[in-house]
Amino acid sequence: MTETVLPPDEALIAGRWRTGSGAPTEVVDPATGRLLTTLHGASPEDVDAAARGASRAAADPAWRDLAPHLRARYLHRIAELIDANADRLSAIQTADTGKTRTETRALAASAAGTFRYAAALLETAEDALTPSRGAYVTVTTHEPIGVVGAIAPWNSPIASDAQKIAPALAAGNGVLLKPADWTPLTSLALGRLITDSGLPEGLVSVLPGRGSVVGDAIVKHPLVGKVTFTGGTNTGRTVAHAAAEKLIPVSLELGGKSPTVVLEDADVEQALAGVMYGIFSSSGQSCIAGSRLFVARAIYDEFVGELVERTRKLRVGPGTDAATQVAPMVHHRHRDQVAAYVDLAREEGARVLCGGAVPEGEQYTEGAYYLPTVLDGLPADARTCQEEIFGPVLVCLPFDDEEDLVRQANSTVYGLACGIWTRDLARAWRLAQRIEAGTVWINTYKQFSSSTPFTGWKESGLGSEKGRDWLRGYQRQKSLYLGTDPAPLPWAS
Ligand code: NAD
């Protein structure tokens, strides 16, 4: 494995790399419990310096007046640097989050793709000449907002960072990136590459630290004109309140409790592989994890029995082992929260069909491991079936008919994603219309394309990311009227 070169104890603040003046945080490798580094977070004063720097850089004609195809070059350069450093970024992210190298390599590639897609959007965006109703020409255009606050979660740092920085820069803004408290290292490594790309100084700052201090200071800073947030629903609500006070736009990508549905006629092999990938990849730490499984009652026992057999055989281990399928949780504290949810499920009367414990064996004692777990025997309104666990925990429920399925599947506050497994595409299509979710996968799961919008319904989010209109969320619309009649307006004469 390539040696992991951890970023030093520094943050990127207004174009300068220096130690943050906030509190120190310990960054731990969740596979071993080993201290990776101690990092000083930013302080509210650092946030202020970064916001001023980003505002200055965004307003500088060197950036503000740059033609789209020239601005796009910076995004391409960042993408090239990510590709050239993909192995190192993957190693850092595996050390920081515990994820498998296969996954962190894919996340780095996806981040590069995001910068390229944002560059393509920038080069092809068009403004509209609108139908005029008088002696004037009307044009509607889009301008940058200024400074964007980007607040990211810990589960897929480089991909979520790119999904915020790339469209914000393409749209002409400066960015203040706040990585999650537990996983700042990949974002700082990405910050180094952004510095190396030659992007105007100060345009992007990377500000690690506590959410309640650094995140809060970013959202409330007077120069921040938009917030893009990905994280838990409760934190999202706090951020939205603060944004509402300032009357600034906010986009929120929040939690989920997504249903996967197996109909009687599903291809069982395909459905088993899809259901297991949907919940146990990323150790279930995915907003779109298919964490509630609904199986037609006629095939319930057989399907769930086979699922449990296969789940028992999943290989649990460190992210650095190429054979690992289920890597450790991001942090020991998070592992303990997941374990507490399984205890709650037991109290609620669940049957633990497999897992439900930390794995046994010396190789697991120091890491934040938890066995992939399958539960059943609970009603759809049990807390275990309603609340986001964000770990490798699947709860199975039978359904009788379509009405019963739709009622149960839609019975949570979330509406992020859904998977449907069946050979009957007409039925899948009909069901997909009735499920309250921003994304529905039919006979596939957890697939993504930058060109396809991603939206959370209900308490899973506000606004959309990706797709053709992505940059518009980072811009302000302006309409221009250009008079064509040299005569004075009649009222004044
Ligand atoms: P979190 O809500 O605890 O933290 C998210 C970010 O917000 C972190 O950077 C944190 O430091 C910051 N923060 C915390 N308090 C803040 C405050 N008062 N003001 C401003 N910022 C603050 O979430 P997490 O535990 O890091 O991530 C897991 C959650 O993220 C899950 O609920 C998951 O579903 C969600 N998520 C959603 C998506 C999506 O696209 N819908 C993607 C990934 C993760």
Q: What is the pLDDT of residues 34-46, one digit of tens each?
A: 999 999 999 999 9
Q: Which residues pair with 37 in a beta bridge?
A: 27
Average pLDDT on 450-467 reads 97
Tell me 289's DSSP state.
Answer: -
CA of 256 to the centre of ligand 1 (A): 12
**Best mutation site among 230, 281, 283 for ligand 1, i.e. most ligand atoms within 8 A of its Cβ?**
230
Closest CA to 414 of 439, 391, 386, 440: 386
Query: Distance between the two ends of the chain, CA-based, in angstroms?
Result: 80
User: Residue with the nearest Cα to atom 23 of ligand 1?
Assistant: 231
pLDDT at 132 over 70: yes
Average pLDDT on 290-298 reads 98
- pLDDT per residue as tens digits for the range 95-122: 999 999 999 999 999 999 999 999 999 9
**CA dist., res. 38 & res. 9, Å (int):** 7
Strand 373-376 and strand 351-354: the pairing is antiparallel
- Name the one residue in this structure whose structure tokens are 């092999």: 269
CA of 352 to the centre of ligand 1 (A): 29
pLDDT reported for residue 326: 98
pTM of the model: 0.97
pLDDT at 238 over 50: yes
Average pLDDT on 150-157 reads 96
Residue 136, SS3? strand
Express as a percent the part of the chain with pLDDT over 70.
99
% helix, strand, coil for the chain, step of 5:
40, 20, 35
pLDDT at 481 over 50: yes
pLDDT reported for residue 226: 98
Of these residues, 287, 354, 385, 396, which one is catalytic? 287
**CA dist., res. 225 & res. 247, Å (int):** 9
pLDDT at 2 over 80: no
Active site residue 465: yes
Q: Which residues pair with 373 in a beta bridge?
A: 393
Of these residues, 10, 99, 103, 164, which one is catalytic? 164
- Contact yes or no for 219/239 (Cβ under 8 A): yes
Compute the mean pLDDT over every residue in the chain, rounded to the nearest whole number. Answer: 97
**Best mutation site among 233, 235, 330 for ligand 1, i.e. most ligand atoms within 8 A of its Cβ?**
235
Closest CA to 345 of 397, 306, 405: 397
125 CB-contact burial (10 Å; exposed 0-12 / middle 13-18 / buried 19+): middle
Ligand 1, CB within 6 Å, residue ranges: 151-155, 178, 180-181, 211-212, 215-216, 219, 230-232, 235, 238-239, 253-256, 287, 388, 390, 416, 456, 461
How big is the chain, counted in residues? 493
pLDDT reported for residue 3: 63
- pLDDT per residue as tens digits for the range 350-399: 999 999 999 999 999 999 999 999 999 999 999 999 999 999 999 999 99
CA of 287 to the centre of ligand 1 (A): 10
Ligand 1 atom nearest to 181, measured from its CA: 11
Ligand 1 atom nearest to 234, measured from its CA: 2
C-beta atoms surrounding 74 within 10 Å: 22
pLDDT at 29 over 50: yes
pLDDT reported for residue 127: 95
Encoding tokens for residue 281? 């990849």
Question: Which residue ranges form the domains of the chain, and what is each CATH number?
Answer: 11-254+460-479 (3.40.605.10), 259-442 (3.40.309.10)
Active site residue 123: no
pLDDT reported for residue 292: 98
Residue 485, SS3? coil
pLDDT reported for residue 445: 98
Active site residue 253: yes
Ligand 1 atom nearest to 255, measured from its CA: 34
Active site residue 287: yes
